[in-house]
Amino acid sequence: MFDTTDVLIAGAGPVGLMLAAELRRDGVKARVIDAHDERVFFVKALGVTARTLEIFEDLGIARDAIDAGVWLTGADTFQDGAPAFSAEVPRAGLPYGALSLAQFETERILEAALARNGGHVEYGATLVDFSDAGDAIDVRIQDACGKNRTIRCRWLVGCDGARSTVRRQSNIAYEGDQYPQTFMLADVDVEWGLPRGRMYRFNVSGEGGAGSTTLAALPVRGSARRYRLSMVLLPDDAARHTLNSRPDFAEIERIMLPILPKGTRLSSMRWSSVYRVSHRIAQNYARGRVFLAGDAAHIHPPVGGQGMNTGLQDAHNLAWKLTLAARGIANQALLDSYEAERRPVGLDVVESTSRALNTVLAHGEIKPAMRETQLLVGYRGGSPIVADECADMAAELPAPGDRAPQAGGLVEAFIGHAQRLHDHLGRGRHTLVAYIDDADSARIAAFDAAVDAWRTALGAAANAVLIVSPKVANAASFEPAREAYRTLCDNAGEFADAFGAKHGMVWAVRPDGHIGFRSASCSSDTLIAWLDRVLGSDITR
């Protein structure tokens, strides 16, 4: 007799925990295993982007993350001890700023979310191998005592890092290379006169380039002086250390203090490491019933803090697709879209961070950019599951594949405070959004019919919102409260401006917050025909 589950997740890092928490929230039987005996408390990944904080909000943990982190306000570069360059982190008009959050805190928060949804991590469980069982996968697990057992799952997801057993046993190539530079990292308290909340880079130049190096410092919550320091080792120092070794505090002081501002004092070292940086991407993100996410699928330089965030967004993309498949609503066509949508994103991040690292090594500058918020990541033009019936709309307006922008100032009858569009999106739901600028009973009736078809097709995952202009909301004949969906008045005009909304338009917004479909008019037949293509031919009939 086998243990069974819908989804088995190998690896309880941030990506595996995110995927497990979302699946469990959506009622999918998901289990997550990890070879470690318990969660580790190392400061690895730090930066959390605005887009990831939106995803955390979707899971109900954004405030927990903010409370455990430090807002990053800017970046300052010093050259040979003198200020050389300063930049502010973009935040005007953004949903969130950039947050410094230690990876172990991210994992703690995600593991608590998993527990709230009835799940837990099976620590001390190592994935040994797996085999195809036709309509399932048999996975052999070894516990800490060396005892083997088998878990039968419908889908297996490898979130087990750069040395992924799942990827290796799936015979998926991990294409790329390793940088020749050796890096040293230390989690320490730093006493100096520099303002808290900023990222710092200290460059030291040697004669003819010999002896040139760079050190980066990022604040970590835990004490008012805690930072993660990371630097490129000079050749002589690199030769003294083996990769993945843990230098002692005296060695960290010897190597790092001469690069830091005069008078700096270090103390309370919690962790150190010597490592190399690679740039690699899996040739495939999926093979049959097996999927890869996070470092198992892509690894790249840590410039801009894109790595963990990209992996978390892999999980966010995959979760809703596995949910529909587990419920029998979608077939393999939808699952195939995971690789089609996420691998180009991973490839772009590998290439862009590799260029950025080369720039840092050559010029030593930190330049925070809008692309690092990851709010611009989308699938327009490259996804097989999005469709646009409004080809004449301006290119700068949000289109299918794009993240649905935020719009505030929305007013609901009988509720005295304004709301945001994102309050009504996500959380495992597929949301049909329509805009009405005229008290036109035929348009409203068409939306009512579309909502009925939407709910019939998607069941509990279906959601709907009608946005009306103030002209409609104030019309004597308009009925503001309906049981089938929420009706919101675009009181400030933010929705119409953000979406380029015209009377009768409709959008379908996926659970991951990306627009899947857009049409100039609300037709149940057109909407369901698109949904059939996404989920599998006639699967909604």
pLDDT in tens, 28-59: 999 999 999 988 777 678 889 999 999 999 99
Same domain, 392 and 466: yes
CB 267 within 8 A of CB 189: yes
Give the end of a domain, one of 373, 400, 423: 373
Question: So what's the pLDDT on residue 365?
Answer: 61
Q: In sequence order, which residues have a C-beta less than 8 Å from that of residue 315 and are 6 or more positions away?
A: 15, 16, 18, 19, 22, 159, 293, 294
Residue 234 lies in a domain: yes
Same domain, 369 and 304: yes
Q: Which domain holds residue 442?
A: 387-535
Question: So what's the pLDDT on residue 250?
Answer: 96
Residue 217 lies in a domain: yes
Give the end of a domain, one of 277, 308, 335: 277
Question: So what's the pLDDT on residue 48?
Answer: 94
Same domain, 117 and 182: no
Tokens encoding 522: 């609300």
This model's pTM is above 0.85: yes
How do residues 407-426 score in pLDDT, each as one tens digit? 999 999 989 999 999 999 99
What is the spatial distance between Cα 390 and Cα 532, in angstroms, rounded to a whole number? 19
CB 503 within 8 A of CB 438: yes
Secondary structure (DSSP) of 45-90: --EE-HHHHHHHHHHT-HHHHHHHSEEE-EEEEEETTEEEEEEEPP
CB 204 within 8 A of CB 211: yes
Question: So what's the pLDDT on residue 145?
Answer: 87
Residue 80 lies in a domain: no
**Which residues in the chain land under pLDDT 50?**
none
Residue 297 lies in a domain: yes
Domain count, the chain: 3
How do residues 443-452 score in pLDDT, each as one tens digit? 889 999 999 9
Question: So what's the pLDDT on residue 521?
Answer: 92
Question: So what's the pLDDT on residue 361?
Answer: 65
How do residues 179-211 score in pLDDT, each as one tens digit? 888 999 999 999 999 999 999 999 998 765 566
